[in-house]
Amino acid sequence: MGEDTKSMEFDYRPVLRFRGKSVMGEGRARLLREIDRTGSLSTAAKNMGMSYRHAWGTVQHMEDILSEKIVASERGGSGRGQSALTEAGKRLLMAFDSRNDLLMKAHDSLFKKPNLTVDGIALIKGKIVLVRRKQEPFKDRYALPGGFVEYGEKLENAVVREFREETGLETRIERLLGVYSDPARDPRGHTVSAVFVMKVMGGSLTDSEETAAELISVKKIPKLAFDHDKIVADFLRK
């Protein structure tokens, strides 16, 4: 295949087959859902952006393969009467949706990846820089300044940026404290955080839309969000 392989891609679209013949894919499943929702083959076809003739031919093709009626219609003027899925049609759609759900779960388990975040720890005259969260999760709880790494962004740049955005302080990295990767550390999903020890170089403590920045004595640190209690304990111990 040579260079042609560069333009190839995996296709995970579900296809339901009966005796080796393709009965239903995503498009046909959507057509049946529209018929079931609107009670009209004509309206379903219009919503799908196809002609009535094409929609009716698609239904007949599925029925020919299955040797069973899947749509019952009561014709009105110009064939615009009421339509409904038969019990066989409902079973067919249910079977497709069930296979589709299994496929999506398998896809997620194979290709789902953790999110990458950064957090920073900085001391100013014996006090630690923390931010009080204004949003969920952990609304009104304190946390270390930090956030998600943007695509194409270096970790070192991300932690300086997040620290500035959440506290108004300009910092530089002193060292990497550690990497924290417990899948349960963030209720929004699996996140991995690189935590850096920071030195404050300038700026002034300023709130952001999402956080309120404060200096808190290391002797009076409240219970923190996420796993930041453990991170701060590791920092103070080291």
What is the residue-averaged pLDDT of the chain?
A: 89
pLDDT of residue 12: 58
User: What is the SS3 assignment for 55-123?
Assistant: HHHHHHHHHHHHCCCCEEEECCHHHCCEEEECHHHHHHHHHHHHHHHHHHHHHHHHHCCCEEEEEEECE
pLDDT confidence of residue 8: 46
CA distance 205 to 215: 9
Whether residue 203 sits in one domain with residue 176: yes
Same-domain check for residues 131 and 203: yes
Q: Are strands 82-85 and 169-180 parallel, antiparallel or unpaired?
A: unpaired
Q: Please check whether residues 74 and 167 belong to one and the same domain.
A: no
Please write the tens of the pLDDT for every residue from 97-123: 888 887 777 766 666 789 999 999 999
- Are 165 and 208 found together in one domain? yes
**Single-letter amino acid code for the residue at 35:** I
Residue 225 lies in a domain: yes
d(CA 177, CA 229): 14
Q: How confident is the model at residue 69 (pLDDT cuts 50, 70, 90)?
A: very high
| CATH number of the domain that residue 192 is part of | 3.90.79.10
Residues 102 and 151 grouped into a single domain: no
For residue 93, the domain's CATH number is: 1.10.10.10
Residue 123 in domain = yes
pLDDT tops 80 at residue 160: yes
Average pLDDT of the segment spanning 22-45: 92
Residue type, 44: A
Q: Classify residue 2: in a domain, yes or no.
A: no
Half-sphere exposure of 215 (CA within 13 A, CB side): 12
Residue where a domain stops, chosen among 52, 76, 111: 111
Residue 161 has pLDDT above 70, yes or no: yes
**Torsion 156-157-158-163 (CA) sign:** positive
Clarify whether residues 76 and 19 are in a common domain.
Answer: yes
Q: Do 107 and 119 share a structural domain?
A: no
**In a shared domain, residues 103 and 83:** yes
1: pLDDT strictly greater than 50: no
191-201 residue pLDDT tens: 999 999 999 99
- pLDDT at position 105, please? 75
Could you write out the DSSP letters of every residue in the chain? -GGGGGG--------EEETTEEEE-HHHHHHHHHHHHHS-HHHHHHHHT--HHHHHHHHHHHHHHHTS--EEEE--GGG--EEEE-HHHHHHHHHHHHHHHHHHHHHHHHH---EEEEEEE-EETTEEEEEEESSSSSTT-EE-SEEEPPTT--HHHHHHHHHHHHH-EEEEEEEEEEEE--TTS-TTS-EEEEEEEEEEEEE-----SSEEEEEEETTS--PBSTTHHHHHHHHHH-
Task: Provide the number of structural domains found in the chain.
Answer: 2
Which of 60, 82, 111 lies at the terminal end of a domain, its last residue? 111
Range of the domain at 70: 10-111
What is the band of 13 on the pLDDT scale with cuts at 50, 70, 90?
A: low
Q: Is 4 domain-assigned?
A: no
pLDDT at 133 > cutoff 80? yes
Which of 111, 135, 158 marks a domain boundary? 111
